[in-house]
Amino acid sequence: MIPAMLIAGTHSGVGKTTITLGLMAALSRRGLKVQPFKVGPDFIDPSHHTAVCGRPSYNLDPFMMGLDGVRRSFSAAAQGADVAVVEGVMGLFDGMGASETGSTAQVAKALGIPVILVINVHGMSRSAAAIELGFAEYDPALNLAGTILNRVGSERHVAMLKSTMQKPVFGMIPRNKEMEMKSRHLGLVMGYEFDHDLQALASFLEENADIDEMLELGIEDCPVASKGAVSEKFVRIGIAQDEAFCFYYHENLRELERKGAELVFFSPLRDSLPDVDGLYIGGGYPELHAASLEAAPARRQIKMASEDGMPIYGECGGLMYLGDAIESEEGRNEMVGALPGTTIMTKKLQALGYVEADVVASNPAAEMGKIVRGHEFHYSRFDCASDARLAYRLRRGKGIRDGRDGLVEHNTLGGYLHAHFYSYAVDRFIESCKSYGRR
């Protein structure tokens, strides 16, 4: 058995992220190797997990990965860890629309992992027991092991709550203004930007939760075997990684390595283009660093590489960077110019949600006829010519325009879609890079 638990919430904003980070910090301080996971497509929470645990946090998303993909990713990542901690998304049963697809509950059932439900009990007593009962009985296939009660008040409040709850109460978390203030900012900044006081986080949970009892919870080894790693590296792929480009599903990077890629990390803000056979430019915040990106040497070098036929794949922030320019209230900054179009920053959210796309045009990353799944989230639009070649026709999602995404020029592909590589094989991208490197 692998000690494991999933921290879920009754709804968003109940404090599950702060509690999860505190638990991870406490377990790490005990000298345990903690493997973190996050349900859903989010990039930010996993970055905080990684900062606290010192191990990459993996997304578990049934829509993008499939249930077998969720099991495979969990099984592979948990190897060598002393305990696995999964943070849920939204409320426990909230999925796509009115379905359970993509929900925390669906992941919990797929893994058979015990669930600890966080309930915000501010202003209630017996009602907390009713919530616990409703969540426990809503889906009998779910293993609801117990609760953590957040924002408890006086000792009298604690006593009332304990007398009414039926399942184990693993924690009674008091109201803490400092922790609540920090929690409000967790979803706004990446983990490396946040000043985590790990000792304070660890102490806060140790003092208010029964961590020893939680460590008694566990999961049987997942029966699905992980994909074997490829020892021989026959292609070099550059990975843009810095403050401007920091949104990557960690499993995507591992998948490239399994297929034979040596990953070469570099910063478009500071470094020259490395000696590689292809590029993967993920999402992030290029608009916040537009002036620096414009002045950096990599911008022109990537343009030349694109014109030379190097396979280049960009997602969201990567699309913005590969375009001609980024325009915002601060002005216009020239970008790579490998893709014909301009990013216009907007104050209004342009798209948020899951994406499913048919590949309908030749491109360096995905085979025609395949279905690609992922997620999009952006406060910008990308203006390109009406006759621009777009590789994806969307079944759901917004994309660049008119239900299409994936702008192609030369051997460069960029779109708003953050794809998960478990939704389709990356062999085409690997082969494109291999062919370019052998010229």
Residue in 53, 222, 246, 316 annotated catalytic: 316
Backbone angles phi, psi at 24, to 5 degrees: -60, -40
Residues 6 or more apart whose Cβ sits within 8 Å of residue 130 = none
Which of helix, strand or coil describes residue 414? strand
Active-site annotation holds for 316: yes
Distance from C-alpha of 80 to C-alpha of 379, rounded to nearest angstrom = 39
**CA-to-CA dists, residue 94 to 51, 90, 437, angstroms:** 27, 6, 46
| Residue 292, burial from CB neighbour count under 10 angstroms (0-12, 13-18, 19+) | middle
Mark out the alpha helices in 119-165 (DSSP H runs): 126-138, 155-164
Residue in this structure with the two tokens 């990965």, named with its chain if needed? 65
Give the bridge partners for 84, in sequence order.
4, 35
Give the type of residue at 265.
Answer: F
Distance from C-alpha of 321 to C-alpha of 279, rounded to nearest angstrom = 13
Number of Cβ within a 10 Å radius of residue 32: 16
Q: Are 176 and 146 in contact (CB under 8 A)?
A: no
First to last CA, the chain: 50
Q: Report helix angle 198-208 to 16-29, nearest 10.
A: 100
Which residue from 178, 76, 179, 164 is spatially nearest to 121, judged by alpha carbons?
A: 164
The full length of the chain comes to: 439
Give the type of residue at 339.
Answer: L
Q: What share of the chain is helix, strand, coil (3-state, %, to 5)?
A: 35, 30, 40
Q: Are 412 and 364 in contact (CB under 8 A)?
A: yes
Distance from C-alpha of 175 to C-alpha of 72, rounded to nearest angstrom = 38
Give the bridge partners for 58, in sequence order.
37
Give the type of residue at 204.
Answer: F
Number of Cβ within a 10 Å radius of residue 386: 6
By annotation, the residues acting in catalysis are 316
